[in-house]
Every structure is written in C-alpha cells, then in structure tokens.
Chains A and B, each alone.
Chain A
Amino acid sequence: MRHPEYEQNVFINCPFDDDYAPLFESIVFAINDAGFRAKCARERLDSSQVRLQKIVELISSSRYSIHDLSRTMLDATNALPRFNMPLELGIDIGCKAFNPDCAEKSFLIFDSEQYRFQKFVSDISGQDIHQHGNNAKLAVTRVRDWLRTESGRIDMPGGAAIYDRYERFRAELPAICSALKLDFGQLTFADLSYTIARWLKTPQ
C-alpha cells in the first residue's frame, strides 16, 4: 500500500557536507517551488530508529528520488570511497523492482562527470545520468525539468524563474535566521523546508 503522500514526495540522497550545502539548498528550493515535498534522512530527529530503516521508509514513501553520486570518491582520512549514496540508490532500484506499488518510481541521478559512474557502478549503465557541475542554477533546472517530464504536471514554473526566486530567497535567508537568533547552520532540514515553503507562500 502506497504512502498517502507518495506522489508529492521527492527523496534526496546526497552528501551532507558543508561544500555541498549550496547545491542541497537549491535542490530543496526547486522541489518546493515545483509543488513537491522534499524528504531526506536528515529530517527525522528520532535517534531510536535505525538510520537504514529511516532511509528505507523515506524511499518507499517517495515516488521521486534524486541520487547524487558526485561525491563518491576516496576519503582523505581513510582512503576509502564514500558509498552511502550508491547504496541508497541500490535500495531505491530494488524498491522499484520488487514492490509493485512503487513500479512507477522515477530517479534523477547526478554525477560530477559524464561516464564517471561506469568506473565504480557500471551496473547502472543505461540509466540517464546527469551532471550539475556543482552549479546551483544547473541543478535547479535539471530538477525542475525532470519533475515536469516525469509528473506530467503543467502547473510548474520554468527553471530560470525558480532559480531567480531561489537567489532572492537566499539573499533574505541570513536576515530570517538573524530574526530567529540562529546561525544559518543551526536550521534543521525541517526548518529549512518550512522556511522555504512559507517564503514561497508570501507575495513575491
């Protein structure tokens, strides 16, 4: 049985480091502005739940998923690859393959360079892999175009309009955080998602 919000949910599987933060924010904003709801493993604060179980629940409750493999590289400290993102992509592919309720799932897979994924997960050859070049504007446009195509919704602004709004939101975000007496880094994922949605609801 499908989750009641299945059709609106977009699961984001990406790194959570500071370098990735601008891309992450822009992707969350694009999802919201397109009329969908962003979901990610950071949203749940219940520490009693096993992390992988949280991820499985989020994957099965989301028709759409964004998997960013661009940070699958050797860790400077351990010289081992970061493999959480490919693992979660594999779980999502399995969910689509084995759960009839999730057969219509759609994935947007990002990597840093074309064909790089073939060197570490060649089994996903044949899937559409996209590049964002660490560029927020490109990421916003790719996310919007993919959601537009896959959902068939016509009520969606264009990528340029979404990015323009994102820049205006980003310019006001420090002041919003200041009014909340918070550093930007202290906003949780749910705080950020709510702030974006509320800001989008206000007259522009």
Chain B
Amino acid sequence: MAKNQAAATANDKGITRDRSKVRGSSLSGKLKDKDSSSRSKGTRREILFPTEPTSIPREEIDRAIELVISRRK
C-alpha cells in the first residue's frame, strides 16, 4: 500500500522510478546532442590518401604505424 502511494506520488511529480530508463534516455540524449553539435560545428573532416603510388607497399607502412602506435605509453 505504502509502495503504491509512493509510486503514485512519484508519477504525480512526473518522476519515473525506472532508473535504467532514466539513465538510458538521458545518456542517449546527451550523445545525440553532442554528436549533432559536433556536426554543426563541423569538427569532422575527411583525411584524403595520395593518389600516386608509394615506393613501399602501403600495407608495410600500415604495419609500421600500427607497431609504433602499439608502443605508445
């Protein structure tokens, strides 16, 4: 009975007691806002690769960069 009253009071105040829903909706809302804000500010640009052939196979350069990055502290 007391639980029902508490739930009714919460509903009257517009508060949902399902915390997972609260977190989920809030977080996804924030991410969405942040994402659209980032787009509107145009902070994403495409990095273009050269069209000319490299003297070393590109896969070797990829591996060398991955190796060096993996050693970052």
Verify if A191 is at the interface (C-beta below 8 Å from B): yes
Instruction: Given A175-B68, A180-B64, verify A197-B54 contact (CB < 8 Å).
Output: no
Q: Given the complex of chains A and B, what is the CA–CA distance between A33 and B44 in angstroms?
A: 11
Verify if A90 is at the interface (C-beta below 8 Å from B): no
Verify if B42 is at the interface (C-beta below 8 Å from A): yes
**Is the pair B62, A154 in contact by a Cβ cutoff of 8 Å?**
no
Verify if A106 is at the interface (C-beta below 8 Å from B): no
Nearest-neighbor residue (CB-CB) of A156 within chain B: B45
**Residues 152-184 (chain A) with a chain B CB within 8 angstroms:** 153-157, 172, 175-177, 179-180, 182
Q: Given the complex of chains A and B, what is the CA–CA distance between A188 and B69 in angstroms?
A: 22
Verify if B73 is at the interface (C-beta below 8 Å from A): no
Instruction: Given A37-B51, A202-B69, verify A191-B61 contact (CB < 8 Å).
Output: yes
Verify if B1 is at the interface (C-beta below 8 Å from A): no
- When distances are taken between beta carbons in the complex, the residues of chain B under 8 Å from A155 are 42-45
Nearest-neighbor residue (CB-CB) of B62 within chain A: A198
**Is the pair A198, B42 in contact by a Cβ cutoff of 8 Å?**
no
**Is the pair B42, A194 in contact by a Cβ cutoff of 8 Å?**
no
Interface size on B, residues (CB 8 A): 28
Instruction: Given A32-B47, A153-B42, verify A191-B56 contact (CB < 8 Å).
Output: yes
- Of A35, A175, A177, A188, which is within 8 A of B47 by CB? A35
**Residues 18-52 (chain B) with a chain A CB within 8 angstroms:** 41-52
Instruction: Given A154-B42, A195-B61, verify A179-B68 contact (CB < 8 Å).
Output: yes
24 cross-chain CB contacts under 8 A: A34-B45, A35-B45, A37-B51, A44-B52, A45-B55, A154-B41, A155-B45, A156-B45, A176-B61, A177-B64, A179-B64, A179-B68, A180-B60, A188-B54, A189-B52, A191-B54, A191-B55, A191-B56, A193-B49, A193-B52, A194-B58, A198-B62, A200-B47, A201-B47
Q: What 6 A-B pairs are tightest by C-beta distance, nearest first?
A: A35-B45, A154-B42, A179-B64, A155-B42, A193-B50, A155-B45
